[in-house]
């Protein structure tokens, strides 16, 4: 018997990197949400950061999904 599956994030799991954009202010949210936004490297509205797609990152994004938008990063660009 299989367990019910959890909802998945909307971006492709095959992508190696994702772009995260802060679309709403963390003002009025809990301290933990503000700390998560800071840990993602986001400081300003509409700021975009590129992160490695890991299970830890997916967990962080799930906690602040109402504040950020996520999309797959272009495959051709590699960070040194």
User: Model confidence over 19-76: pLDDT tens digits?
Assistant: 999 999 999 999 999 999 999 999 999 999 999 999 999 999 999 999 999 999 888 7
Q: Could you tell me the CATH number of the domain that includes residue 51?
A: 3.30.1390.20
Does 59 fall in a domain?
Answer: yes
Does 2 fall in a domain?
Answer: no
Count of Cβ atoms closer than 10 Å to residue 22 Cβ: 21
Is the pLDDT at 3 greater than 90? The verdict is no
Q: Into how many domains does the chain fold? A: 1
Domain with 21 in it:
17-72
Phi, psi (5° rounding) for residue 4? -65, 140
Instruction: Give me the pLDDT at residue 65, please.
Output: 96
Does 79 fall in a domain?
Answer: no
Instruction: Give me the pLDDT at residue 12, please.
Output: 47
- Which residue's entry shows tokens 């954009």? 21
Instruction: Give me the pLDDT at residue 22, please.
Output: 97
Does 63 fall in a domain?
Answer: yes
Q: In what order do the strands lie in the sheet with 17-22?
A: 48-52, 17-22, 68-72
Instruction: Give me the pLDDT at residue 30, please.
Output: 96
């Amino acid at each position: 018997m299989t367990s019910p599956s959890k909802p998945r994030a909307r971006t492709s799991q095959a992508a190696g990197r994702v772009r995260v954009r802060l679309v709403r202010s963390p003002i009025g949210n809990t301290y933990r949400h503000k700390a998560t936004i800071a840990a993602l490297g986001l400081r300003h509205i509409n700021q975009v950061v590129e992160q490695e797609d890991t299970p830890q990152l997916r967990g962080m994004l799930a906690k602040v999904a109402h504040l950020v938008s996520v999309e797959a990063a272009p495959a051709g660009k590699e960070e040194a």
